Structure 1
Amino acid sequence: MAPFLGFRGSRLNLATILLVVFPAYMCFGYNLAVAGGLLTMPSFIEQFPKMDTVNNSSKLNSNVQGTVVALYTVGAIFGALNTIFVGDWLGRRRVIFFSSALVIIGALLMASSYSLAQFIVARLVQGFGTGGVTATVPVWQSEISGSSHRGSHVVTEGLFVSVGIASSLWIDLGFSFIDSSSVAWRVPLVLQSSLSIFAMCFIFFMPESPRWLLGKGREQEAREILGALRDVDANSDTVQEEIGDIHRSLELLHSVGRWEILKMGEKRNLHRLLLGITGQSFGQLCGINTLTFYATVIFEQRLGLGGTESRILSAAMTTIQLVGALAAVLTIDRLGRRPLMLISASGMCISMAVLAGTSSTTNNHAALIVAVVALYGVNMFYPFGFLGLPFLYSTEVAPPHLRAKISGLSNCMTWLFTFVVVEVTPTGFQDINYRYYIIWVVINFVIVVTVYLFFPETNGRSLEEMDEIFIQSNTIFDAPRIARSLPKREHFDHATDSREHNLEEKS
């Protein structure tokens, strides 16, 4: 069989996206929302009465529900953290394979649960696998994508997460019509395993990261992969230049101490770690998982709608995320990373403010309509700048020799704050009601200010080129200004550009 199923250049990049990234991240999105759509089903409540907040509004049940749902993110924290130690040992493809296997095991355990203890263990196992996937796939994809299309390639992850979230809630809706049987919640929980199986089947037909191969001394394999990815000869100048850039970054790796990532140094490693961590933390601190995990609960218990109406609105609300995610894919390499984050956070800030105002009014049909529109607004703005982009940004600002470690730590913060949001949301709604949304208004305003002042633009920069921006920075305020003024190198990332470049050399 021809290497990489016979694909080269842009077709090979497309194959990696459709055959691995798509199922992996669709499964991720599916996992985020599927449990939330089951929490109000009678058959689910009957099986796990301690998680019942429909018939029992006690603080104990709210806390149990929040904790059990959030334990998925606790497992993900440790899964992401684990990649710091095994990512450079096993390689990107093996980590994706084994992490996907854990997702499958967790799904099978959860779907077959007859006790709360088994359900809890299943959430932890599945979370551990998901954390490994989300910490590794962006690194792998960044390291095989060219700089001019890296943004749109990696941000497709956000689009696929949206597809997964929407799919899970539509499936929950369909099975809710037989909610007297446990099949109504067991089948939705096990369906996701097919997506992980698909990714596992194709991951070893796709290229390994050339950077990882060069770090292991496998230069010929790296050359062949770069040649296939850029659709040029493995010994061309284009490949040789990229090999040279990677070698220079790897030379730093051998001199890196255990705590190098926490030191500023010439390349401002700590500064870049904090940017990655902050960006991925903002992806959760904007408050989106208040809506994603508890969409059906919000419509049914907070806005007083019926069960079927709530599930329809929840599924439609998450479907609107596809609009924002698709817009991000189409514009990120044109507008850049900063504008998308600024527009996204501003839109969520305004939508949350409207939601807080309308939710304070009870028994008002007009206010209810505006509240629903505001909920939809948050879900449309969020994926535009904070669904897939933070995963990309943490890999782009990281020094090449510390990328796997920074991505792992940044992903830990993603899952840590997801846990915090999901854990406190049931209690937050119970204790402070509509004022809970005001917290997210304030945080989203802070996000806008922080991105504007501290986040440098990475669009169109090679992963090695970002080093120059931080080497010239003396304070945390300098990087955005230097990124605007520093000239960009020319990169031959398109297959057409590469072929034309080689033809010019030959002539």
Structure 2
Amino acid sequence: MVKKYLFGFTGHKLRTAQMWTVIFPAYMLFGYNQAVAGGLLGLPTWIATFPRINTATTTGLQAQENSRIQGTVVALYTLGCFFGALSCIPLSDRLGRIRMIQLGSLVHIVGSILQASSFSLGQLIVGRLVAGIGFGALTATAPNWQSECSLAKHRGATVIMESVFISAGLATSAWIDLGMSFTNTSVSWRFPLALSSFFAIVTIIMSAQMPESPRWLLSRGRIEEARQVMAALNGVGEDDPQIQSDIVEINESLAIAGRGHFTDIFKMGELRFFNRACLACAGQMFQQLTGINALAFYLSTIFHEYLGLTSLQAGIVAASTFTFQMVCSPIGVLTVDRFGRRKLMMISAIGMGSCMAIVAGTASQPNNKVAEGVAGSMIFLFSLFFPVGFLGLTFLYASEISPNTVRVPITSMSTATAWIFNFMVALITPVGFSTIGWRYFIIWAAINYFLILPSVYLFFPETSGRHLEEVDQIFRESKSFFDPVRKARHFSVVPVSDIESNGPKLSHEKLEVTHK
């Protein structure tokens, strides 16, 4: 008898429910929190409550001093996320994926309440740190759980859907900030900050109705529970021979890798743990170094203070930009398994670098309406290229590149890397704009062209269409950091179109362990 979960769903319905009832609110929260504070910085009631971070009505040295404090306060949320992601290293394998998701969501709710009830800068800072710690734990765990419950041939598309949800969260926060700006009380900023707790509450409630990761269950020796979960996720009986085959293969993979420890990721070993940790962390670092959060955190400010729009116009255009990104995000979902991870990342880097270069050139011409229009258009175009290659894809890649027994340490470190560079970008961006102005965009153009693009080409092996155990073999045969890309080319991958045309039965599909 197959164990049933939410509404008795099994198979495709259960995996779809996982995505829309847990991953959707969790990653809506991701995007929402990234942009919500930036849209509040110019509100009169916000300025009255937190005058030390006012850059909207100050000038000269006072504005520069306030910009530094503002950057610190905004960025402290991401610093909390950094520590929250690291907390998964000792806790996630001990508690399990579901309980870690719930714990992170609960801590985030506490931080959200602290922020929304703030009457001093100190309380706001504490609230942002606490909220960040909770969400950092959530975002380091959810991709692992989703990936470990996904079928190999659809793993890329299902995990990359996170990028659509993040973009939806960004757009939601921008429109809510804009709508609340017409309110002349502190509700104009308290409500947007409090609303983030709603997404966390939904995540807690719905995750309780979902199965635990079968890989985690097997790693803890809970074979019968894992069998039930795998049967439910595949929509077959527990005695199906494919389920037993999957269990044997996962256990063999666990035995080869051994019981992993955090320190193992700093050693090469047979499976080149350190090499893989570097790739996972580099991918997440590159996500932040594209320049996305130089825009996301301060998009309204950029349109208002540097491109000459009024506050209302800036809010509308910023919200429209995030909405455009949401509309473009499904491009990554539709192409990630068909064209592969490497191609999308390289195309994305070229596109973003070009957009940033053009923004720099046009923003250097103040009071030129045509140039300002072109700059705004390039920011919109940047919002097309970013989700294609660097929004949800870097979380997917970190999970795919990580071997079973050190997946949690590697993905936690990679997520922590994303957050610490997120913190850096949020911290320096106000200072960058106030000191070097339009030249700040040149930095991001150069990073995309001369760091991200060549690094992906030289060091990142393709993982599309490969089960996680096959990735182990690629690294087992590699002897240097340059080898994985070359070795990956020698592993044949069944095209997605062939898989779809053959139309395999769901009961014959494996959970991430199908050898070709």
TM-score norm. by structure 1 comes to: 0.96
Q: Is residue 500 of structure 2 the alignment partner of residue 478 of structure 1?
A: no
Q: For 2:12, give the aligned amino acid.
A: S
- d(CA) in 1 for partners of 2:455 and 2:264? 25
Give the aligned CA root-mean-square deviation in angstroms: 1.8
**What's the counterpart of residue 76 of structure 1?**
81
Cα displacement string for residues 212-271 of structure 1 (whole angstroms, at most 9, x for unaligned residues): 111111101101111111122222221122111211222245454552211111111100
- d(CA) in 2 for partners of 1:6 and 1:316? 39
Change (3 A) 1:208 1:255: closer
Change (3 A) 1:276 1:263: same
Change (3 A) 1:257 1:418: closer
**What's the counterpart of residue 268 of structure 1?**
272
Conservation of the 8 A alpha-carbon contact between 2:322 and 2:383: yes
Match of 2:53 among 51, 54, 70: 51
Q: For 1:109, give the aligned amino acid.
A: L
- d(CA) in 1 for partners of 2:503 and 2:223? 22
Task: Identify the range of structure 1 (7-16 vs 227-236) with the bigger mean alpha-carbon deviation.
Answer: 227-236
- d(CA) in 1 for partners of 2:374 and 2:112? 37
- Tell me how far 1:315 sits from its aligned partner: 0.2
Match of 2:136 among 131, 152, 156: 131
Task: Identify the range of structure 1 (296-305 vs 363-372) with the bigger mean alpha-carbon deviation.
Answer: 296-305
DSSP-derived class of the 2:156 partner: helix
**What's the counterpart of residue 14 of structure 1?**
16
Q: Is residue 347 of structure 2 the alignment partner of residue 339 of structure 1?
A: no
Task: Identify the range of structure 1 (233-242 vs 490-499) with the bigger mean alpha-carbon deviation.
Answer: 490-499
Cα displacement string for residues 126-158 of structure 1 (whole angstroms, at most 9, x for unaligned residues): 000110111000000110101100001111111
Q: For 2:428, give the aligned amino acid.
A: V
Report the identity percentage.
47
Task: Identify the range of structure 1 (250-259 vs 158-167) with the bigger mean alpha-carbon deviation.
Answer: 250-259
**What's the counterpart of residue 31 of structure 2?**
29
**What's the counterpart of residue 434 of structure 1?**
438
DSSP-derived class of the 2:153 partner: coil
Match of 1:308 among 294, 306, 312: 312
- Tell me how far 1:5 sits from its aligned partner: 2.5
Q: For 1:381, give the aligned amino acid.
A: F
**What's the counterpart of residue 98 of structure 2?**
93
Task: Identify the range of structure 1 (488-497 vs 133-142) with the bigger mean alpha-carbon deviation.
Answer: 488-497
Runs of 4+ in 1 over 6 A off after TM superposition: 489-495
- d(CA) in 1 for partners of 2:429 and 2:258? 45
- d(CA) in 2 for partners of 1:258 and 1:15? 32
Change (3 A) 1:297 1:501: closer
Change (3 A) 1:262 1:489: farther
Change (3 A) 1:258 1:348: closer
Q: Is residue 358 of structure 2 the alignment partner of residue 354 of structure 1?
A: yes
**What's the counterpart of residue 513 of structure 2?**
none
Conservation of the 8 A alpha-carbon contact between 2:265 and 2:274: yes
**What's the counterpart of residue 514 of structure 2?**
none
**What's the counterpart of residue 368 of structure 2?**
364
Cα displacement string for residues 19-62 of structure 1 (whole angstroms, at most 9, x for unaligned residues): 00000110111000000000011110111000100111322100
Change (3 A) 1:232 1:300: same
**What's the counterpart of residue 173 of structure 1?**
178
Q: Is residue 407 of structure 2 the alignment partner of residue 403 of structure 1?
A: yes
Cα displacement string for residues 421-440 of structure 1 (whole angstroms, at most 9, x for unaligned residues): 00000000111111100000
Cα displacement string for residues 388-430 of structure 1 (whole angstroms, at most 9, x for unaligned residues): 0001100101111111110000011000000000000000011
- d(CA) in 2 for partners of 1:495 and 1:51? 58
**What's the counterpart of residue 159 of structure 1?**
164
Work out the number of aligned pairs and report it: 501
- d(CA) in 1 for partners of 2:421 and 2:454? 20
Q: For 2:505, give the aligned amino acid.
A: D
Conservation of the 8 A alpha-carbon contact between 2:85 and 2:416: yes
Q: Is residue 382 of structure 2 the alignment partner of residue 378 of structure 1?
A: yes
**What's the counterpart of residue 505 of structure 1?**
none
- d(CA) in 2 for partners of 1:127 and 1:161? 16
Conservation of the 8 A alpha-carbon contact between 1:230 and 1:495: no
Gaps of 5+ in 2: 511-516
